[in-house]
Amino acid sequence: MERELALEFARITEAAALAAARWMGRGDKEAADEAAVTAMRAVFDTVCIDGTVVIGEGEMDEAPMLYIGEKVGNGTAPSVDIAVDPVEGTNNVAKGLPNSIAVVAAAEKGGLLHAPDMYMDKIAVGPKAKGKINLDAPVKENLKAVADALGKSIEDLTVVILNRPRHDKLIREVREAGARIQLIQDGDVAPAVAAGMAGTGVDILMGIGGAPEGVVAAAALKCLGGEMQGRLWPEDDEDIERAKKLGINDINKLLTMDDLVKSDDVIFAATGITDGDLLKGVRFFAHGGRTHTVVMRSVTGTVRFIDAIHRLDLKPFVFRR
């Protein structure tokens, strides 16, 4: 993939973030998502790729746009797999909470795991702790390994965990080990990416979240040189059948980075919708807005932060509610 695509994907996530941010704190997560999807899909039409959505808004009969299998781009080379999350953390936008982002990841065709819409148990760390974690190891053992890799004590680690009843045991074990915990309500892509970057205040992500989000976060960590491991966490037989339809026959397989993201040519872009550890949220002013975006390429290892100002009086957005 050409380096120019990195900026094109930034344009896509910027458009989605600007559209969704109009709905911040207004209590309507569906409207925020609809606005972001519409804006993101419109910009995709201008990008020179032959893209196929492999992680998106749902199956064809569930989503009008950015559904799994939809073709995006203008149809020219290169052929790429696309993973999108127009609003990662819809509840966060609706409630005005932090860490909601608009995300796009792309890899060579066949380069991204076609993750079913179900849960995944995950552990994610940055480059210094790469090769030190094991999803099957005891919690304290993983925390000790990460702390040693970062030159910290366990007591200085910050672990991000989704605040869910299913994590009661995990939270208890992390606390017993002595590490600090940052509980989040929704959206585990941003903290997983933050774990891969020094200076964000996040050292490790642990726990069960969305499987598609796991692949998206793994794409970013591939660019950063970090690591994620995962295992699908089905709730019922329907989840197991859904995985089999996507070619995943061993539901209990430990998924490594090479399983989640097979390609070494990956681009990841994310724009903040609300403020977070990784990115600032959208700021609006008279006739315009300001966005904060991160763009990464695995081929070069380059990470760019883009602070952009947009003339919104020249870019009409469609709000249907």
Give strand pairing partners of 310: 289
Angle 195-300-43 from CA coordinates, rounded to 5°: 80
d(CA 319, CA 19): 8
Task: State yes or no: 258 annotated in a binding site.
Answer: no
Task: State yes or no: 85 annotated in a binding site.
Answer: yes
Residue type, 316: P
Task: State yes or no: 67 annotated in a binding site.
Answer: no
Give strand pairing partners of 272: 101
Task: State yes or no: 61 annotated in a binding site.
Answer: no
Tokens found for residue 87 = 């609003």
C-alpha closest to that of 222 among 186, 250, 249, 192: 192
Task: State yes or no: 86 annotated in a binding site.
Answer: no
Task: State yes or no: 119 annotated in a binding site.
Answer: yes
Task: State yes or no: 33 annotated in a binding site.
Answer: yes
**Residues in CB range of 117: below 8 A, 6 or more apart:** 58, 210, 211, 212, 242
Task: State yes or no: 27 annotated in a binding site.
Answer: no
Asked whether the beta carbons of 21 and 48 are under 8 A apart, the reply is no
d(CA 240, CA 113): 16
Asked whether the beta carbons of 229 and 115 are under 8 A apart, the reply is no
Task: State yes or no: 210 annotated in a binding site.
Answer: yes
Binding residues for substrate: 88-90, 119, 164-166, 186-188, 210
Binding residues for Mn(2+): 33, 57, 85, 88, 213
Binding residues: 33, 57, 85, 88-90, 119, 164-166, 186-188, 210, 213
